[in-house]
């Protein structure tokens, strides 16, 4: 018999607002994310663009209402010297991208190009500054260059380079993965370095309201979070980052699109770890900041597999299947349910790298299953969380099991309620019962993302193989909404 799961939504108690910034993205100088991705540059091309930025990518990301975009890294950020990326392009020095494929870049995509692109996208920039190989002065100068509206050496230089108004960048990362590619620092050492950088990030009017985000832990390194919380005075910090990737095994990641159900199950285990990770990092933060003033910022997350055959191993180009849709749906539900502390997150990465929402091949562009989940979940942006309880069932593989169903619910400003439900079970459909008093069938609508196989994906030849459809498999019976979730599916319901 088909197993049943019930989801009880607490419509009475008001949860926190789910910050739209949980739905943020990440664009590093890595492989084909910026160059030959977002940016086609000034050269002659048949790809329609605005100041070198692809119009099709801008339109697709606007549809996702991306709230913020992190740049220029990642590991690249701690090698990046922003002054090399301003001024006349022909005079800009080159940079060798030492972390990602050793390619030589011409610095044609720099601060102006990125911040203007953010204006085009209608998104908030999130800049990660160079701490690993930069200086405090270089960082402070960058802030003055982009944020100071008055007269100052850096704002004057910005004007000379053609930009009158400051961009008022709010989100600033102080280095990236300081425990690794950002300088191989200890937590103690980084805490001191952070204090020094943060001192010169504030203190002048145009920087009021900026958010200073410390480079955070890798997955379960709770000591890192604890040390930072203990050693950095609250007045100097607004957020602590966390990075977690769903990787089967760093030495044997497996193909992105040809995988067994066993491999799929391990990926789901890794993705589900996010629940424990955010819970425990939040516990540590609560100890030092019971009022919840400092945010948890999961500024890198997603699935990581072997690169596609024949592509540069340093470019991290991978396909994106229904497995990735499951990671996205489940992870975003986890973030929503922890919206009291998780205020921002960034999927790695937006275009052509890791769990991308967009893949390009010359003038062609496809939207991945992850894109569709992100689009379906836009209803949760800045909506009020409604806590829920799931009377769950297990997805079992061998001796291991995982909760088959994940869900989150919210109410938007117009009073519409949304419930996102994910069934990660690769072969079982489940009947879900949601008590909802007084609701009529005509008040409910929904969308479903499902496909025949967990390996299904979109290609440049068949770009809409995986796409959301209207969800019809529900009824209302005795005060319950009853729905059937197909195997490996994401459903978002709207209740008017
Ligand atoms: O997203 C790819 C890389 O993963 C980033 O550059 C780094 O921060 C992380 O290790």
What are 308-324's pLDDT values in tens digits? 999 999 999 999 999 99
pLDDT of residue 421: 98
Ligand 1 mutation pick, 32, 74, 298, max ligand atoms within 8 A of CB:
74
How do residues 361-380 score in pLDDT, each as one tens digit?
999 999 999 999 999 999 99
Q: Which of 177, 261, 262, 273 is catalytic?
A: 177
Instruction: State how far Cα 167 lies from the chain centre.
Output: 22
Is 306 within 8 Å of 256 (Cβ atoms)?
yes
Give the ipTM.
0.99
Ligand 1 mutation pick, 31, 77, 181, max ligand atoms within 8 A of CB:
181
Determine how many CB atoms are found less than 10 A away from the CB of residue 96.
Answer: 11
Q: Which of 300, 461, 478, 482 is catalytic?
A: 300
**CA distance linking residue 362 with residue 70, whole number of Å:** 24
**CA distance linking residue 366 with residue 359, whole number of Å:** 5
How do residues 57-108 score in pLDDT, each as one tens digit?
999 999 999 999 999 999 999 999 999 999 999 999 999 999 999 999 999 9
Identify whether 177 is a catalytic site residue. yes
Identify whether 283 is a catalytic site residue. no
Q: Is the beta carbon of 123 within 6 A of some atom in ligand 1? A: no
**CA distance linking residue 254 with residue 401, whole number of Å:** 21
30-34, 42-46, 246-250, 322-326: the lowest-pLDDT one: 42-46
The DSSP output letter for 461 is S
Kindly give the distance from the C-alpha atom of residue 143 to the centroid of ligand 1, in angstroms, as a whole number.
23
Q: Is the beta carbon of 176 within 6 A of some atom in ligand 1? A: yes
Using only C-alpha atoms, the chain has a radius of gyration, in whole angstroms, of: 22
Atom of ligand 1 nearest to the CA of 74: 6
How do residues 232-282 score in pLDDT, each as one tens digit?
999 999 999 999 999 999 999 999 999 999 999 999 999 999 999 999 999
Kindly give the distance from the C-alpha atom of residue 418 to the centroid of ligand 1, in angstroms, as a whole number.
33
Q: Is the beta carbon of 73 within 6 A of some atom in ligand 1? A: yes
Question: Coil, strand, or helix at residue 415?
Answer: coil
Give the containing element (helix H, strand E) for 56. Answer: helix 55-63
pTM over 0.90: yes
**CA distance linking residue 357 with residue 225, whole number of Å:** 29
**CA distance linking residue 342 with residue 4, whole number of Å:** 31
Instruction: State how far Cα 259 lies from the chain centre.
Output: 24
pLDDT of residue 14: 84
Tell me the C-alpha to C-alpha distance, in Å, between residue 47 and each of 33, 50, 362: 16, 10, 8
Determine how many CB atoms are found less than 10 A away from the CB of residue 392.
Answer: 17
- Band the pLDDT of 11: cuts 50, 70, 90: confident
Question: Coil, strand, or helix at residue 492?
Answer: strand
Q: Which domains does the chain have, with CATH numbers?
A: 4-9+387-495 (2.60.40.1180), 20-381 (3.20.20.80)
- Cα of first residue to Cα of last residue in the chain, in angstroms, is 32
């Amino acid at each position: 018999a088909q197993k049943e799961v019930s989801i009880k939504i607490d419509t009475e108690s008001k949860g926190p607002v789910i910050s739209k910034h949980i739905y943020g993205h990440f664009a590093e100088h890595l492989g084909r994310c910026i160059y030959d991705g977002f940016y086609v540059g000034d050269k002659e091309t048949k790809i329609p663009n605005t100041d070198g930025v692809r119009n099709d990518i801008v339109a697709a990301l606007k549809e996702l209402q991306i709230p913020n975009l992190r740049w220029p890294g990642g590991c690249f950020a701690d090698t990046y010297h922003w002054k090399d990326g301003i001024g006349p392009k022909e005079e800009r020095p080159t940079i060798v991208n030492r972390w990602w494929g050793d390619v030589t870049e011409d610095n044609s995509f720099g601060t102006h190009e990125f911040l203007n692109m953010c204006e085009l996208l209608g998104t908030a920039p999130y800049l990660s500054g160079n701490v690993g190989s930069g200086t405090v002065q270089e960082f402070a100068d960058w802030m003055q260059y982009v944020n100071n509206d008055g007269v100052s050496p850096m704002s004057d230089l910005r004007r000379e380079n053609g930009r009158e108004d400051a961009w008022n960048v709010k989100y600033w990362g102080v280095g990236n993965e300081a425990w690794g590619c950002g300088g191989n620092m200890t937590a103690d050492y980084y805490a001191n370095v952070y204090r020094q950088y943060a001192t010169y990030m504030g203190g002048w009017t145009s920087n009021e309201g900026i958010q200073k985000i410390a480079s955070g832990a890798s997955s379960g390194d709770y000591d890192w979070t604890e040390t930072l919380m203990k050693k950095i005075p609250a007045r100097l910090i607004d957020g602590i980052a966390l990075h977690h990737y769903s990787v089967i095994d760093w030495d044997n990641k497996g193909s992105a699109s040809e995988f067994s159900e066993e491999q799929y199950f391990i990926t789901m285990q890794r993705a589900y770890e996010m629940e424990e990770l955010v819970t425990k990092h939040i516990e540590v933060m609560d100890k030092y900041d019971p009022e919840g003033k400092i945010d948890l910022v999961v500024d890198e997350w997603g699935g990581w597999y072997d690169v596609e055959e024949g592509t540069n191993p340093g470019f991290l180009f991978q396909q994106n299947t229904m497995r990735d849709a499951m990671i996205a749906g489940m992870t975003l539900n986890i973030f929503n349910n922890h919206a009291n502390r998780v205020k921002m997150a960034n999927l790695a990465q937006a275009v052509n790298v890791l769990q991308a929402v967009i893949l390009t091949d010359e003038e062609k562009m496809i939207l991945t299953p992850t894109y569709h989940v992100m689009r379906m979940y836009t209803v949760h942006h800045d909506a009020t969380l409604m806590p829920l309880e799931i009377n769950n069932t297990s997805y079992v593989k061998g001796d291991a099991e995982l909760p088959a169903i994940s869900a989150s619910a919210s109410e938007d400003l117009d009073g519409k309620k949304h419930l996102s439900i994910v069934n990660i079970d690769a072969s079982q459909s489940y009947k879900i019962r949601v008590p909802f008093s007084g609701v009529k069938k005509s008040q409910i609508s929904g969308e479903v993302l499902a496909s025949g196989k967990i390996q299904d994906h979109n290609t440049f030849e068949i770009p809409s193989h995986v796409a959301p459809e209207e969800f019809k498999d529900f009824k209302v019976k005795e005060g319950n909404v009853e729905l059937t979730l197909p195997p490996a599916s994401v459903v978002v319901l709207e209740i008017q």
